[in-house]
A = this chain, B = another copy of it.
Amino acid sequence: MDQDPVETPGYDAAVVDLLGVLAYGELTAFIRMAADCDLAPTLALKSAMGRLATTDYQHYEQLAAHLRGLGVEPEEAMSPFVAPFSAFHERTRPRGWLEGLVKAYVGDGIAKDFYREMSALVDADTRAVMQEALGDEGHADFVVQIVRDTIRADRTAAGRLALWGRRLLGEALSQAQAVAVERDAMAALLVGGGLDLGEVGRMFTRLTENHQKRMTRMGLDA
């Protein structure tokens, strides 16, 4: 990194944006996933999805507390991101419990990748609160076996879920792009924080590759 991120012009605004997008992402992931518990065919699955949802809410609370510590109301920091997340969830409503599960796993994976990429560009305090969310990695792994078992018994499900996974990634990237265009400061954090545009492109490539690995892990074509 060329310079201390804190000295980059617009750094404070960028961090508030970053914390706001992460916080609202966790809050909506919590709400959507908890609602999707309703679709789960067994009580054990409802319970496992509920645990995952609750973990997202806890991350939300940590991020919101950190924002308040910076003197920023979480609601204010999150408000620019209401529209893109609504659009994402509106366009990716699961049509059944299996799509809901794959969405939880894929969404959790993309979010964790994004946390990891961004935490390299921020100050130590912000990084610490982001690491808390990364500490829960693996909580969504129960999904892998369930998807594998299901597609072994039902091959048409595999094709349908592979398409679903591509759609989830596509919608996520397209909303991310809309956010980057809208939020100058956060985009500048990426570029100004030592990344050139080529590096930003490579970051998107890494996100896509990691997504493909996760799809493969579930036994689905990426």
Residues of A within 8 A of B (CB): 24, 27, 30-31, 34-35, 37-38, 42-44, 46-47, 50-51, 53-54, 57-58, 60-61, 64, 74-75, 78-79, 82
Find A57's partner among B38, B50, B78, B79 (CB 8 Å cutoff): B50
Residues on the B chain within 8 Å of A47, using CB: 27, 60, 64, 74-75
Once the chains bind, are A31 and B60 in contact (CB under 8 Å)?
no
In whole angstroms, what is the CA distance A127 to B79 when docked? 43
Residues on the B chain within 8 Å of A43, using CB: 24, 27, 74-75, 78-79, 82
Which residue of chain B has its CB nearest to the CB of A78? B43
Once the chains bind, are B50 and A30 in contact (CB under 8 Å)?
yes
Closest beta carbon of chain B to A25's beta carbon, Å: 13
| Other A-B pairs, 9, CB within 8 Å; known A31-B35, A50-B60 | A27-B46, A27-B50, A31-B46, A31-B50, A34-B53, A35-B35, A35-B38, A47-B74, A51-B61
Closest beta carbon of chain B to A115's beta carbon, Å: 20
In whole angstroms, what is the CA distance A42 to B31 when docked? 14
In whole angstroms, what is the CA distance A79 to B54 when docked? 22
Residues on the B chain within 8 Å of A38, using CB: 31, 35
In whole angstroms, what is the CA distance A78 to B44 when docked? 10
20 intermolecular pairs with C-beta atoms under 8 Å apart: A27-B50, A30-B50, A30-B54, A31-B35, A31-B37, A31-B50, A34-B34, A34-B35, A34-B53, A35-B38, A43-B74, A43-B78, A43-B79, A47-B60, A47-B64, A47-B74, A50-B57, A50-B60, A51-B57, A54-B54
In whole angstroms, what is the CA distance A57 to B46 when docked? 11
| Residue of A24, A44, A50 ringed by the most chain B CB atoms within 10 A | A50
